Amino acid sequence: MFEKLIGWLKGLFFRRKAMSIGIYGATNAGKTTLANRICLDLVGEPIGSVSVIPHETRTVQKKEKVEIKAKGLKLSLNILDMPGVAVKVDYHDFLPYGLTTDEAQQRAKEATRGIIEAVRWLENVDTALLVIDATEDPYSQVNLTLLGNLEARDIPVILVANKLDLRGASLGKVKEAFPQYEVVGVSAQTGENLPKIYDAIANRIS
């Protein structure tokens, strides 16, 4: 893993001095779990907490100006873990998790603000990882909307088919749904195939 990571970084040094990676996706697709994996590789600490309750991440979580040095060169990297995007947010969806009505309503308000914030932050993203839950139908309104926004801004995007460690996950379905995009299959939970994400990012950045 370490040798693969160093090789990826060396490739970026000669193309950029600074870059921002935005991690996008639907609620509970595994964005923060993936972001934590990447941050642990780069700086030795996670970026945020995870939960089975939807919309655990409700503000943009950042690891900014991560300075990576090799052979006298330096890269400043921003890792941006975005709030989960949803078509709608209903506070009733949080009640089965044991939240009170007041807590659920507050979480819904924060989640809605987080979705708006995530879209606004596209202006600060150099390349994006769109995390897709490979156990679900990839051809969802959320995924289509995010891809549309990324394309409109000409932001390089890599699709990450996540949760391959779970029964029912299908990398093939994600590739079939979006044949025009590069798709990397991973398990953010176990770290499976994470080096392939680094390779894909290096290849997408001109």
Which residues of the chain carry a pLDDT beneath 70? 1-17, 51-52, 54, 67-75, 202, 204-206
Contact at 8 Å (CB) between 82 and 29? no
The CA-to-CA distance between both ends of the chain, in Å, stands at 24
Other residues' Cβ atoms within 10 Å of the Cβ of residue 5? 16
Q: What is the pLDDT of residue 73?
A: 55
Q: What is the DSSP letter of 140?
A: -
Return the CATH superfamily for domain 2-204: P-loop containing nucleotide triphosphate hydrolases (3.40.50.300)
pTM score of the predicted model = 0.84
All structural domains of the chain with their residue ranges: 2-204
Q: What share of the chain is helix, strand, coil (3-state, %, to 5)?
A: 40, 25, 35
191: helix, strand or coil: coil
- Residue 174 token pair: 């994600």
3-state secondary structure of 11: helix
What pLDDT shows up at residue 182?
93
Q: What is the pLDDT of residue 133?
A: 97
Return the pLDDT at 176.
96
pLDDT of residue 202: 67
What is the Cα 55 distance to its own chain's centre?
14
Which residues are bridge partners to 73 per DSSP?
A: 70
Strands 61-70 and 73-81: antiparallel
pLDDT tens figures, 93-133: 889 889 999 998 998 999 898 889 888 889 889 889 999 99
Distance between CA atoms of 132 and 124, rounded to whole angstroms? 21
Q: State residue 97's pLDDT score.
A: 86
